[in-house]
Amino acid sequence: MTRIIHLLFCLTFISCNTTNSHENAPAPSEINTTVNNNVPQFDADSAYAYIARQVDFGPRVPNTEAHKRCGAYLTDELKRFGAETYVQEVSLTAWDKTKLQSKNIIGAYNTEKKERILLFAHWDSRPYADHDPDKANHRTPIDGADDGASGVGVLLEIARQIKTNLPDKGIDIIFFDAEDYGTPEFANVYIQDTWCLGSQYWANNPHVPNYTAEFGILLDMVGSKNATFFREYISQKHAAPIVEMVWETARNLGYGKYFINIDGGGITDDHLYVISGRGIPCIDIINTDPETAHGFGSYWHTVNDNMNNIDKKTLKAVGQTVLEVIYNN
């Protein structure tokens, strides 16, 4: 399965290199400004601070003190921003049989509304820098400034905005745990479904019985400098109109340099389990790089996934686009 997805991923990128998406992006002066003035302004400084705060705890690897403290911090922040919070505590079994004391952290707004939008990201960070060029680092836990903290930071800033300006629809924010404890390269084995353990659990045990939403948006690695978000294959397959709407919104806001209007490969990520387990059409906004062998940024699963790689301009592009979507839908 991974092989197929990975192959598809590479092929898609190779075949896509012939067109330059940047030509499709409108110049800021050409943007059709039928803007809805009720959309709050996303504060990238604030999102950046939430990312730095998570990273300051140390790597958020399940069963560590940093993970425990950060989990408490995230729950408190959602409460502070007026969300009704739920914490699912569960022991999940990793690829190597390690029992991971895990927490899915959920914040809900407008809980009485039937029409809901689900926003999610993973909050744990990977225990292994197994793609680091230096083999000595392969068992070193990563900061996960982009891979983990960035999506959560953007969603915390969105929660802060929602507190003072409630949108019409119901909004659920989920911080999934144990996404990034998947089988390391050095294990040299393939075991199915070892990634995304928190979302797999939630998909079978939602915080609200029969939970559903109109659509879901996953933010994964949304903070790195010059990030590029292609139309991810699984998102496209199960939620094409949502992909179209989000990418068009980004383009209209002048963020076409980040939201590339080209099909990308498929990625095994939390959205896959929310789609298959709950039947909610979901998309994944995830930074990929057609130039690298694995398809992700060169910092991916290395010790360089730290704050030096985080760029407020990228956070703004993603955060403002998502705000626009939730206030104009």
Binding site for Zn ion (CB under 5 A): 126, 147, 180
Quick one: what does residue 269 bind among Zn ion, ligand AHN, none, with the CB cut-off 5 to 8 Å set by partner type? ligand AHN
Residue 37 to residues 27, 34, 328, Cα–Cα distance (Å): 21, 9, 10
Structure tokens of 149? 């903290």
Please, what is the minimum distance in Å from the beta carbon of residue 144 to ligand AHN?
Answer: 8
Q: Nearest 10 degrees: CA dihedral of 47, 54, 104, 304?
A: 100
Please, which residue, 19 or 98, has the CB nearer to Zn ion? 98
Is there a contact between 274 and 203 (Cβ–Cβ < 8 Å)? Answer: yes
φ, ψ for residue 205, nearest 5 deg: -140, 70
For residue 220, the partner it binds in Zn ion, ligand AHN, none, with Cβ less than 5 to 8 A by kind, is: ligand AHN
Q: Decide whether 2 or 15 has the Cβ nearer to ligand AHN.
A: 2
**CB 300 → ligand AHN: shortest distance, Å?**
7
200: partner contacted, choices Zn ion, ligand AHN, none (Cβ within 5-8 A by kind): none
Nearer to ligand AHN, 25 or 61 (CB): 61
CA 261 to chain CA centroid, Å, is: 19
Find all residues with CB under 8 Å of 35, minimum gap 6, and list them: none
Taking the least distance from each CB to ligand AHN, the nearer of 70 and 162 is 70
CB of 179 to ligand AHN, least distance (A): 6
Cβ nearer to ligand AHN, comparing 157 with 220: 220
DSSP string, 82-145: T-EEEEEEEEEE-TTSPEEEEEEEEEEESTT-SSEEEEEEE----S--TT-SSGGGTTSPP--I
Least Å distance, CB 301 to Zn ion, is: 6
CB of 133 to Zn ion, least distance (A): 17
Least distance between ligand AHN and beta carbon 274 (Å): 14
Q: Which does 195 bind (CB under 5 to 8 A by kind): Zn ion, ligand AHN, none?
A: ligand AHN
- Angle (CA) 130-219-139 rounded to 5° is 15
* Phi and psi angles of residue 97, each rounded to the nearest 5 degrees, phi first: 75, 0
Q: Which is nearer to Zn ion, 180 or 324 (CB)?
A: 180
For ligand AHN, the binding residues (CB under 6 A) are 2, 147, 180, 182, 195, 220, 267-269
